[in-house]
């Protein structure tokens, strides 16, 4: 932690140019995160996924990444009728993969990638009401998706969806 000198003391600025030069040198040599490569690394998400309970099944279908874009669609059924749908995209935006969700065809809400690994990815938008976080994890048997954020009264709410590859 830097301790700033009181106004009456002299502050020696001589080391700061060296620190600044070192910082710029390290930053210039750092490899920027390639959003396109990160989007392509989500290939495990591609496919037709079925989940939910038998009374209210949920399906998601993700196309493999092409031109740095993954496109998906989701629908929820009840009594054999569509009760909700969502257009989904994962695209490079501002240098990072961004999840765009359009529930029921409304304008897109963006969620920037904030974490991930070989078998999982998390997207967040702290300015959105609910959800603020969207996470996907590849499991031994399929896929686990989770949405979370402040619910009623500000209490943390987490909703999970377990998917398997759809048959047929």
93 found inside a domain: yes
What's the structural domain count of the chain?
1
Q: pLDDT tens, 52-96? A: 999 999 999 999 999 999 999 999 999 999 999 999 999 999 999
User: Who has greater pLDDT, 110 or 34?
Assistant: 110
23 found inside a domain: no
Q: What is the domain range of residue 52? A: 35-165
24 found inside a domain: no
**Per this entry, what is the length of the chain?**
168
3 found inside a domain: no
Looking at residues 5-29, what average pLDDT do you find? 39
19 found inside a domain: no
- Poorest-pLDDT segment among 21-25, 30-34, 58-62, 125-129: 21-25
Judge residue 44's burial from the number of C-beta atoms within 10 Å of its C-beta, 0-12 exposed, 13-18 middle, 19 or more buried: middle
13 found inside a domain: no
Instruction: Tell me the percentage of the chain whose pLDDT exceeds 90.
Output: 75
12 found inside a domain: no
Are residues 129 and 147 in contact, defined by beta-carbon separation less than 8 angstroms?
Answer: no
Burial 89-119 (b: 16+ CB within 10 A, else e): bbbbeeeebbbbbeeeeeeebbbbbeebeee
28 found inside a domain: no
- Joined together, the tokens standing for residue 37 give 């490569």
CATH of the domain at 140: 2.40.128.20
Query: 51 CB contacts (<8 Å, ≥6 apart)?
Result: 57, 58, 59, 60, 142, 143, 145, 161, 162, 163, 164
């Amino acid at each position: 932690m830097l301790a700033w000198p009181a106004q009456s003391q002299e502050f020696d600025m001589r080391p700061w140019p060296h620190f600044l030069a070192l910082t710029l040198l390290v930053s210039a040599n750092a490899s920027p995160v390639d959003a396109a490569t990160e989007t392509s690394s989500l290939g495990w998400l591609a496919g037709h996924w079925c989940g939910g309970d038998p009374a209210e099944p949920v399906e998601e279908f993700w196309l493999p990444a092409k031109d740095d874009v993954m496109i998906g669609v989701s629908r929820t059924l009840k009594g054999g009728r569509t009760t909700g749908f969502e257009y989904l995209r994962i695209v490079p935006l501002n240098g990072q993969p961004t999840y765009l969700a359009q529930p029921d065809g409304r304008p897109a809400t963006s969620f920037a990638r904030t974490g991930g690994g070989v078998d999982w990815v998390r997207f967040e938008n702290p300015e959105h009401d609910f959800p603020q976080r969207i996470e996907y994890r590849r499991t031994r048997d399929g896929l686990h998706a989770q949405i979370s954020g402040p619910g009623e009264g500000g209490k943390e709410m987490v909703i999970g969806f377990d998917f398997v590859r759809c048959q047929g």
